[in-house]
C-alpha cells in the first residue's frame, strides 16, 4: 500500500504529545501484561443426547406395519409416520399435554418397569367414529373430562396393534413381550412415574379420514437403559459364554452331519477324434491307476492309494490335500 497511515504533520503532533504527556501510552502503574493462568480440563462428562438412530429406524419399520393394521381397523386409508425423539423429564412432558388424553400403560418384559402410550382425545374420538363407520366430519362435539367405556375399548384395540408392532420391530434387537397393564387419564398420577424421572419420548403422526393427529410413546430411561447404547448406534457387547455354547453346539452338529464323498482313480488324455472313434472293447490307458483322490462336494481333500480291503474296493489315505487339515497329516493312514 502506497498511502500513508499518518501524514508527516500527524506524526510530529503525536510525538510532541507523547513527549509533553498529553498522550498517555501507559498507566502510572507501569505497563500491563496479560496473565497466563493454568486451565484444568475436567473429565469428560456424560452427555444425554436425543440422537437415537437405531430407535428411529425401529420406529420407521414399526409404523409401516401399523399403518396397514389401522387401515383394516378403521376402514380408511391411513398413514402413520415417526417424528422426533426427545429426552426430557416426565414432568416437562406432562406440561405439554393440554387436552384430555388416554394413557395406556404397558410392560415389555424382560425390560423392567412400564412405559406409556399417550392417545390424545381428538385422536381417540376420530378412531372411534371411523371404527363405527362415521363420516369424515361426524366427530362428536362437546368437551368432556372422561372417556366412555366404548371409546376406551376401541382405543385399546389400536394400542394392542401398536404394542404388537413394537414387539415385532424390536425382535431383531431383543425378544420382548409387550402387554397392556392399565388405562389412565392424562391427569392421573401413575405409580412409578415421578416428575423428575428422565424419559425418552417418541412422537408419531397419524393421518386418516382427512384428519391429522398425533400420539406419543414414552419410555423411562431406567427401563430401556440396557438398550440405550444400541439405540445410539453402538454395537451390543457379545456374551463370550453364550458364543462358546453356540460354537460347541455347532461343532457337535457338524461332526454328526452326513456328507457324500467321491473318488477319481487315475487319469488319461485323449483327443476329441480318439474319443469319437472309441468302440466297445477298446482299452484306455490310465496313468498310475493305483493313485486316487477323494472329493467332498467336488473339493479334493485326500490323496491315497487305490486297492482292495476286506474284500471291497478301498482307498488308503496317504496325505491331506487341504491346508485346513494340517494337524491331521500326522495321523496314520486309514482305508476308506
pLDDT band at 332 (very low <50, low <70, confident <90, very high): very low
| pLDDT higher than threshold 80 for residue 239 | no
CA distance 69 to 166: 13
- Give the pLDDT of residue 181: 92
Neighbouring-strand partners of residue 116: 105, 218
Give the fold, CATH level 3, of 259-272+286-336.
Surface presentation of antigens (SPOA) (2.30.330)
Could you state, in order of their start, the residue ranges of all structural domains in the chain? Answer: 53-231, 259-272+286-336
Alpha helices in 22-132 (DSSP H): 53-74, 90-95, 121-131
Give the Cα-Cα-Cα angle 208, 213, 214 (nearest 5 degrees): 125
Q: What is the pLDDT of residues 220-231, one digit of tens each?
A: 999 998 888 888
Q: Rounded to whole angstroms, what are the CA distances from 230 to 202, 208, 233, 334?
A: 16, 33, 5, 52
Closest CA to 110 of 251, 226, 238: 226
Q: What is the pLDDT of residues 245-290, one digit of tens each?
A: 777 777 777 777 778 888 877 778 888 888 888 888 888 887 776 7
157-161, 286-290, 291-295, 309-313: which range is least confident on average? 286-290
Could you check whether 53-231 and 259-272+286-336 share the same CATH topology? no
CA distance 228 to 165: 20
Q: Rounded to whole angstroms, what are the CA distances from 277 to 4, 66, 284?
A: 107, 71, 12
CA distance 332 to 18: 106
- 13 sits in which H/E element: helix 8-20
Q: Map residue 61 onto helix, strand or coil.
A: helix
Q: Map residue 248 onto helix, strand or coil.
A: helix
Architecture of domain 53-231: 3-Layer(aba) Sandwich (3.40)
Helix/strand number for the chain, H first, E second: 9, 10
Q: What is the pLDDT of residues 29-59, one digit of tens each?
A: 555 555 666 666 555 444 344 568 888 888 9
Q: What is the pLDDT of residues 162-195, one digit of tens each?
A: 999 999 988 888 888 889 999 998 777 888 898 8
CA distance 148 to 184: 12
Q: Map residue 302 onto helix, strand or coil.
A: strand
Amino acid at each position: 500500500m502506497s498511502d500513508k497511515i499518518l501524514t508527516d504533520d500527524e506524526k510530529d503532533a503525536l510525538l510532541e504529545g507523547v513527549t509533553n504527556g498529553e498522550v498517555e501510552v501507559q498507566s502510572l502503574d507501569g505497563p500491563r501484561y496479560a496473565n497466563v493462568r493454568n486451565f484444568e480440563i475436567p473429565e469428560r462428562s456424560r452427555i444425554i443426547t436425543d440422537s437415537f438412530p437405531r430407535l428411529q429406524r425401529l420406529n420407521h419399520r414399526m409404523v409401516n406395519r401399523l399403518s396397514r393394521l389401522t387401515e383394516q381397523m378403521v376402514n380408511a386409508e391411513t398413514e402413520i409416520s415417526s417424528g422426533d425423539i426427545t429426552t426430557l423429564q416426565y414432568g416437562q412432558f406432562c406440561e405439554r399435554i393440554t387436552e384430555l388424553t388416554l394413557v395406556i400403560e404397558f410392560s415389555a418384559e424382560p425390560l423392567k418397569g412400564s412405559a406409556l402410550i399417550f392417545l390424545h382425545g381428538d385422536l381417540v374420538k376420530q378412531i372411534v367414529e371411523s371404527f363405527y363407520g362415521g363420516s369424515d366430519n361426524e366427530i362428536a362435539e362437546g368437551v368432556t373430562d372422561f372417556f366412555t367405556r366404548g371409546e376406551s375399548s376401541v382405543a385399546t384395540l389400536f394400542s394392542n396393534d401398536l404394542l404388537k408392532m413394537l414387539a415385532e420391530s424390536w425382535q431383531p434387537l431383543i425378544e420382548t413381550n409387550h402387554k397392556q397393564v392399565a388405562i389412565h387419564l392424562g391427569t392421573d398420577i401413575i405409580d412409578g412415574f415421578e416428575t423428575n424421572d428422565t424419559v425418552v419420548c417418541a412422537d408419531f403422526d397419524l393421518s386418516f379420514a382427512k384428519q391429522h393427529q398425533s400420539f406419543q410413546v414414552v419410555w423411562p430411561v431406567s427401563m430401556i437403559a440396557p438398550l440405550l447404547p444400541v439405540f445410539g448406534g453402538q454395537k451390543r457387547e457379545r456374551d463370550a459364554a453364550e458364543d462358546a455354547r453356540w460354537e460347541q453346539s455347532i461343532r457337535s452338529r457338524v461332526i454328526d452331519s452326513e456328507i457324500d464323498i467321491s473318488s477319481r482313480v487315475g487319469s488319461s488324455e485323449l483327443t476329441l477324434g480318439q474319443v469319437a472313434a472309441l468302440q466297445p472293447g477298446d482299452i484306455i490307458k490310465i496313468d498310475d491307476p493305483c493313485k486316487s483322490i477323494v472329493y467332498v462336494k467336488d473339493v479334493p481333500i485326500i490323496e491315497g492309494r487305490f486297492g482292495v480291503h476286506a474284500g471291497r474296493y478301498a482307498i488308503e489315505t496317504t496325505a491331506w490335500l487341504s491346508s485346513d487339515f494340517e494337524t491331521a497329516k500326522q495321523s496314520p493312514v486309514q482305508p476308506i
